[in-house]
């Protein structure tokens, strides 16, 4: 017997302050839309704890932390399924990640993508609703070096972290180009450190036909270009869990957090992301829910199943963070006297600039909206003005110090170039109809143009229908788009 399922899926929820009850009719319409679905999904992009752990030497951009009460706000809006694998989940180290897990466990919510060791981070979260059982596998390809969870051994414990999808990059170039680069590399002794590590056995030598130059893998061939592919081990392990979930649940959804892009095309996912998403459908996923770059990317209907390469932002409150470590200020060229509000005026993608009071520097709003990874110093000073401690120290965590944050919309005051990449909510309906509805037979490119080309900050929804998956029955899916 076939049972319909309605899934409401949103993109990044980067929330750092309380979500109060709004009088705006649009807010109530959004909440009503979410609550009308059986499954309400979002990507929890940030940690939820009372400043546990320490800010790490590298982060996913800004160091995102919010009050544990925020999960209650999201639950009140109707959300019941959360992806937690993203580039910010390890911003505050092991303490912040475990504190977030404790917050989610206490709230009794279903989540996936993080764990006390790699097996737990990769295992699905299961949600039971009236229409059936739902499995969620969540992973991220964008993360700082310390973030991936570590696998357990019989003689050693694992490491808390996120479920990673690493990737490998190979540059194909002509024989002449590779020879020129190799000559420069050798003349400047840039490969001496790696050669010594290979000699000692700490790194593997290059396979035949591949040369490591300037920390990149080069191969002689044609046509010239950059190719990316999923890490073989991460690909196999995640597909194994998807196949396992296929046997345990009525519907399987895969969450992919990926900033990586194809060349200079920020709206196109990197090649390895597309490869993984299609492999996930082949392994049994009913839909792939992508997010990460803070803008919309295209939709692909692959073998009758939808792949959303990025759902954009849902709530984005990067401007009201109360505590950031000293080296983050230093990296942005801000003096020790700078305050958290100064960070919100720093450069955003393609935006104009303004002066930061008392610094003589030019800047603009929406700090860190690109989520770009960056290198940090190995240690930090504590900041007495905000109560943020350096790594390895401790600090008084008073409620008064956390009060009084400026109330601001996540997009209000942002430049149009950033604001135009606004919120989208996608609703998917898995029901008894296997045909296309409302004359919606169209190419993926047309869907991309309909949902992505118009950048005005208005919400759109895509409604997709398919049938409930049977072990031996895999019908096609149709798609209808409604403004």
pLDDT of residue 396: 39
Q: What is the mean pLDDT of residues 322-330?
A: 90
Residues 6 or more apart from 441 whose CB is under 8 A from it? 478
How many helices (H) and strands (E) are present in the chain, helices listed first?
A: 13, 26
pLDDT of residue 383: 54
Question: Is domain 5-163+232-316+419-482 in CATH 3.60.21, yes or no?
Answer: yes
Q: pTM (2 decimals)?
A: 0.74
pLDDT of residue 61: 85
Q: What is the mean pLDDT of residues 348-357?
A: 38
pLDDT of residue 275: 98
Residue 460 pLDDT more than 70? no
Q: What is the mean pLDDT of residues 90-98?
A: 96
Q: What is the mean pLDDT of residues 44-53?
A: 95
The rounded percent of the chain whose pLDDT value lies above 70 is 71
The number of C-alpha atoms within 13 Å of 381 and in the hemisphere containing its C-beta is 9
Residue 32 pLDDT more than 90? yes
The Cα–Cα gap between 368 and 377 comes to 18
Residue 481 pLDDT more than 90? no
pLDDT of residue 2: 54
Residue 385 pLDDT more than 80? no
pLDDT of residue 392: 53
* Phi, psi torsion values for 107, nearest 5 degrees: -80, -10
The pLDDT-based confidence of 403 (bands split at 50, 70, 90) is very low
pLDDT of residue 424: 53
The pLDDT-based confidence of 196 (bands split at 50, 70, 90) is confident
pLDDT of residue 59: 87
Residue 161 pLDDT more than 70? yes
Query: Beta partners for 428?
Result: 7, 464
3-state secondary structure of 197: helix
Q: Report pLDDT digits (tens) over 217-266.
A: 998 999 999 999 999 999 999 999 999 999 999 999 999 999 999 988 99
The mean of the pLDDT values for the chain is 78
Residue 473 pLDDT more than 70? no
pLDDT of residue 70: 96
The tokens for 326 are 């000293």
pLDDT of residue 479: 29
Q: Which helix (H) or strand (E) holds 330?
A: helix 326-331
Count the residues in the chain.
483
**300-303: long-range pairs with CB below 8 Å, 24+:** 300/274, 300/444, 301/444, 301/447, 301/477, 301/479, 302/277, 302/278, 303/474
The Cα–Cα gap between 50 and 389 comes to 13
The Cα–Cα gap between 191 and 178 comes to 15
The Cα–Cα gap between 100 and 107 comes to 11
Q: What is the mean pLDDT of residues 143-150?
A: 96
User: Where does 81-178 show beta strands of DSSP type E?
Assistant: 81-83, 110-112, 114-115, 125-129, 132-140, 161-162, 167-173
Q: What is the mean pLDDT of residues 187-195?
A: 88
Q: What is the mean pLDDT of residues 142-152?
A: 96
Q: Report pLDDT digits (tens) over 416-445.
A: 333 334 445 566 666 543 332 333 223 333
Instruction: Tell me the domain boundaries of the chain.
Output: 5-163+232-316+419-482, 175-220
Residues 6 or more apart from 69 whose CB is under 8 A from it? 18
């Amino acid at each position: 017997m076939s049972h319909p399922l309605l899934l409401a899926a949103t993109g990044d929820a980067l929330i750092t302050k309380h979500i109060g009850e709004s009088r705006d009719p649009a807010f109530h319409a959004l909440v009503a839309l979410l609550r009308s679905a059986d499954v309400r999904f979002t990507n929890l992009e940030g940690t939820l704890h009372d400043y546990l752990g320490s800010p790490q030497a590298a982060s996913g951009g800004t160091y995102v932390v919010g009050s544990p009460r925020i999960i209650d706000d999201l639950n009140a809006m109707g959300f019941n399924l959360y992806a937690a694998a993203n580039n910010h989940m390890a911003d505050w180290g092991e303490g912040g990640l475990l504190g977030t897990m404790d917050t989610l466990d206490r709230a009794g919510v279903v989540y996936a993508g993080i764990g006390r060791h790699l097996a737990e981070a990769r295992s699905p979260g299961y949600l039971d609703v009236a229409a059936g059982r739902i499995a969620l596998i969540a992973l991220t390809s964008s993360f700082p070096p310390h973030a991936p969870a570590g696998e357990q051994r019989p003689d050693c414990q694992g490491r808390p972290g996120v479920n990673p999808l690493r990737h490998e990059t190979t540059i194909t170039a002509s024989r002449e180009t590779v020879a020129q680069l190799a000559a420069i590399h050798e003349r400047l002794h840039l490969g001496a450190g790696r050669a010594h590590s290979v000699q000692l056995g700490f790194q593997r030598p290059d396979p035949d036909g591949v040369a490591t130059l300037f920390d990149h893998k080069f191969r002689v061939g044609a046509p010239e270009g950059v190719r990316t592919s999923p890490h073989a081990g991460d690909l196999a392990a995640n597909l194994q869990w998807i196949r396992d979930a296929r046997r345990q649940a009525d519907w399987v959804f895969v969450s992919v957090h990926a900033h990586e892009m194809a060349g200079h095309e920020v709206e196109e996912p990197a090649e390895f992301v597309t490869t993984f998403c299609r492999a996930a459908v082949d392994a049994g996923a009913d839909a792939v829910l992508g997010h990460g770059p803070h803008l919309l990317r295209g939709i692909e209907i692959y073998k009758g199943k939808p792949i959303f390469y990025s759902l954009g932002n849902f709530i984005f409150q990067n401007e009201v963070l109360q505590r950031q470590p000293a080296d983050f200020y230093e990296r942005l060229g801000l003096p020790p006297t700078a305050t958290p509000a100064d960070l919100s005026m720093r450069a955003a993608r393609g935006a104009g600039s303004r002066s930061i009071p008392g610094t003589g520097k030019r800047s603009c709003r929406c700090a860190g909206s690109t989520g770009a990874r960056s290198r940090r110093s190995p240690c930090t000073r504590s900041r007495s003005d905000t109560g943020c401690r350096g790594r390895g120290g401790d600090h008084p965590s008073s409620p008064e110090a956390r009060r009084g944050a400026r109330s601001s919309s996540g997009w209000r005051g942002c430049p149009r170039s950033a604001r135009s990449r606004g919120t989208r909510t996608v609703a998917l309906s898995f029901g008894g109809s296997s045909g296309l509805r409302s004359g919606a037979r169209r190419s993926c490119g047309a869907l991309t143009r309909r949902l992505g080309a118009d950048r005005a900050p208005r919400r759109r929804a895509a409604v997709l229908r398919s049938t409930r998956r049977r072990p031996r029955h895999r019908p096609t899916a149709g798609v209808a788009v409604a403004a």
